Amino acid sequence: MKTVVQAAFLAALAVSSLSTSHAQPAEPGTTAADTMSAGEIKKVDKAAGKITIKHGPLSNIGMDAMTMVFRVKDPSMLDQVKAGDHIRFIAEQPNGQLTVTQMEKQQ
């Protein structure tokens, strides 16, 4: 009985990780601006190459709204923003690491 419960748990875990770990492809005809998410910069850590963003849903990777730390694709992106700035951005998961790949400061 214990083996059956363990097998069911592992199967449920596998299905859960499959449904949340893969981004859905963009709809045909969408642009980068269509897939960008809104956020507010909470912290910029240039030394670590990371940025903390309070963001809305990240539809391209199936993530709910929250505040979290991201790596940045290009460290020079961190020179463009400071805490309190509002941005639109795209986060992706190259090599399983959440990374901001595009970012635009909002006026």
* Domains, the chain, ordered by start: 36-107 (2.40.50.320)
Nearest residue to 102 via CA among 85, 83, 89, 87: 89
H-helix or E-strand spanning residue 88: strand 86-92
- Tens of pLDDT, residues 60-97: 899 999 999 999 999 999 999 999 999 999 999 998 99
- Tens of pLDDT, residues 7-31: 444 444 444 433 343 334 444 444 4
Name the DSSP class of 58.
Answer: B
CA–CA gap between residue 36 and residue 30 (Å, rounded): 11
Which pLDDT value is given to residue 34? 61
Report, in angstroms and rounded to the nearest whole number, the Rg of the chain calculated over CA atoms. Answer: 17
pTM check: above 0.85 = no
Which pLDDT value is given to residue 25? 43
